[in-house]
Structures are given as structure tokens and as C-alpha cells.
Amino acid sequence: MKAMSTDAGYQAAPGLAPGVAVESEGLAVVARTQGQLIRRRFLRHRAALLGMITLSLVIILAYSSVGFGPVPGWWDKSYLHTAPVVDGGRPTLSVVPEFLGGSGVHLGEHPFGQDDVGKDYFAMVMRGTQQSLIVAFLIGFVVTVVGTLVGALAGFFRGRVEAALMRLTDVMIAIPTLIFAAIFAAVAGRTGNIVVLGVVLGLVTWTGLARLVRGEFLALREKEFVEAARAVGTGSWRIIYKHILPNSVSVIIVTATLAVAAGILLETALSFLRLGIQPPEISLGNLVSQYQTAMQTRPWLFWWPGLFIVAIALSVNFIGDGLRDAFDPRQTRVRA
């Protein structure tokens, strides 16, 4: 909490006026909007850019390959159909070109290998990635909506509203996230619907964002521009929506991004414990769980889903880091 208040202090500190870029010799002054500045700073953050590219590639690969819903994909095998096991189910993917002594760059019949009954593992991992991504983004969405709403109400109205909402937050924080999520994922998991699962997981993890937004609102509601708005007779909801919310959007976006990264780890962990997405349906977590004993004999069944989880979580974390730097460059030096 102390770190937060000092960060707010940093924002208020005088500096160069934003939107003005001074060229050398002071000859040309280029005016840029806040949005342009943020975009430029984000694009200069190499790790974040790389994360953005990786994440996009993973999303495109997952949804275009095996198709989604009624839309068919370009990959000809399904995650449901079994086929005779070829070569012990070994992966046929090859990335070493022939002139380097490899067998050439090609996907082969089963790029990620086959599982024990001969299902195509590439199709299974892609399906799992789709499911896990849906749940992760749903978590991010629900966390953003609920966390912002609770934080805004508590921070703006103070008094009884704040006391009630913050007590609720305290109670939820007293329960370890994984435990809380496990209990309610067990309720949602039995419905077998991943949308329900995503929403429920979002409903148990919004507390962090609510606290941050409340902090922002507490600081901003004392500012002169809010007082001015109130003086001309602006209503509470309009002040919240038009005056304060746009000023705390950076905190919300960054935290929501990190919530997506935490979300994919949470969902896969629960699915690993057989509490999230249940076996006939595929998730990256329950693939790892299913094949954790295959490490000795067919390690690829264990490696692929794990690699995809790490790739997604790492990219999203880097994107969050880049966004934070872009919104508030002063924080780059002092960042948690």
C-alpha cells in the first residue's frame, strides 16, 4: 500500500508536459497525443513486443488449425479420432533443415506425436490451448468488470458502501486463491461448461484489482477537477465514468492483463487437480495431469502442453510489463 501511494506521488510530480516532443536544437516541436506516446513506448519495449507476437501466433495457430465450433480448420486430423499408432507415437515435427544434417523442415503426419490410443497430439494440444485461452480471457474480463465496479464504488462513495465492500474483500482474501477457486471450480466443473468455469474463477479473483482501483479513486476524488465537476452539478455516476475512470484506466488495464496470465496458471492448475475442465474435454492442465507418468517413456506427451502454458503465461506477463512501462514511464525504475 505504501508503494502505491508513492507511485501516485510520482504521477503528480512536475515534469515535461506530455504530448510534446522536443527535437534537438529546439528547432522542430512535434505534438503527439497521449495515445501515440503510449503506443510508441509500448512498441519500444522489446520483450512486450515479442510477447505480443508470440501470443498472437499461439492464438492464430490454436483457432485456425483444428477449427472452432462449426468452422473447420486447416489441420486434417481431429482431437477425437483415433488412428493406428505409428512409430510408438513419436513426434514427426522436424525443424532442422537438410543441409544442417537434419531431416528437413516439415510437420509430418503427427507433428507432436500421438497419445496412447493413437489420437493426434497436435490436435489435442491445440484444442486444449483454445479452451485454456477462453477461460483465461474470461477470467480477465470478469476480474476487470467486477474489480473495477467494486473498487470504484468503495473508493468514490466511502462510508457504509466502502465498509461493506471492503469487508467482503477482506473475507475473500483470507481464503487462499487456489483453495477458493478449487471449491467453486468443483461446483462449476460439474456443469461441464467452460464459460461457467471462467466466470466463476473470475468471481473469486477480483479482489486484488478492487483494492488497487479503490486506492486510485480515493486519491483522485480529492483532486480539483472532480471538485470542479461537482461544483457545476455533475452527477456521481457521470463523475465516476467520465472524470475518474479515464484517469485510472492504466492501473485497470495492466492489472487485467496480469490477471489473464494468473488466470491461465490457475485454470491449468485446477484442471491438473481434476477440478477444472474434466477429462472428456481437453485443457492444457489435464493433458499434463494425464501424462505426468509418461515422462520416462514418451516425454513429448508431457512437454508440449507445458510449453504452451509457459509460452502463453510468459507472453502475457511481458505484455503487462510493457503496458505498465508505457502508461507510466517513471515507474520503469521502481516497479514491483
Binding site for other proteins (CB under 8 A): 1-3, 6, 47, 167, 170-180, 182-184, 186-187, 190, 261, 265, 268-269, 272-275, 285, 288-289, 292, 295-296, 302, 306, 309-310, 313-314, 317-318, 321, 333-336
Of 177, 124, 73, nearest to 308 (Cα)?
Answer: 124
C-alpha cell at 324: 505498465
CA pair distance 137, 259, nearest whole angstrom: 9
Contact 128, 284 (CB under 8 A): yes
| CB nearer other proteins, residue 68 or residue 184 | 184
CA pair distance 134, 260, nearest whole angstrom: 10
C-alpha cell at 72: 473447420
**DSSP state letter for 80:** S
| CB nearer other proteins, residue 245 or residue 257 | 257
User: Shortest gap between Cβ of 175 and other proteins (angstroms)?
Assistant: 5
Q: Please give the radius of gyration of the chain, using alpha carbons only, rounded to the nearest integer.
A: 24
- Reduce the DSSP state of residue 22 to 3 states and report it: strand
User: Shortest gap between Cβ of 114 and other proteins (angstroms)?
Assistant: 21
C-alpha atoms less than 13 angstroms from C-alpha of 185 in its C-beta half-sphere: 28
For residue 120, list its beta bridge partners: 114
- Reduce the DSSP state of residue 21 to 3 states and report it: strand
Q: β-pairing, 20-22 with 29-31?
A: antiparallel
User: Shortest gap between Cβ of 146 and other proteins (angstroms)?
Assistant: 16
| CB nearer other proteins, residue 215 or residue 243 | 215
Q: How far is CA 237 from the centre of its chain?
A: 29
| CB nearer other proteins, residue 75 or residue 286 | 286
User: Shortest gap between Cβ of 174 and other proteins (angstroms)?
Assistant: 4
| CB nearer other proteins, residue 114 or residue 286 | 286
- Reduce the DSSP state of residue 68 to 3 states and report it: strand
User: Shortest gap between Cβ of 321 and other proteins (angstroms)?
Assistant: 7
User: Shortest gap between Cβ of 269 and other proteins (angstroms)?
Assistant: 6
| CB nearer other proteins, residue 153 or residue 185 | 185
Helix, strand, coil percentages for the chain (3-state, nearest 5) = 70, 5, 30
| CB nearer other proteins, residue 250 or residue 289 | 289
For residue 196, list its beta bridge partners: none
User: Shortest gap between Cβ of 207 and other proteins (angstroms)?
Assistant: 11
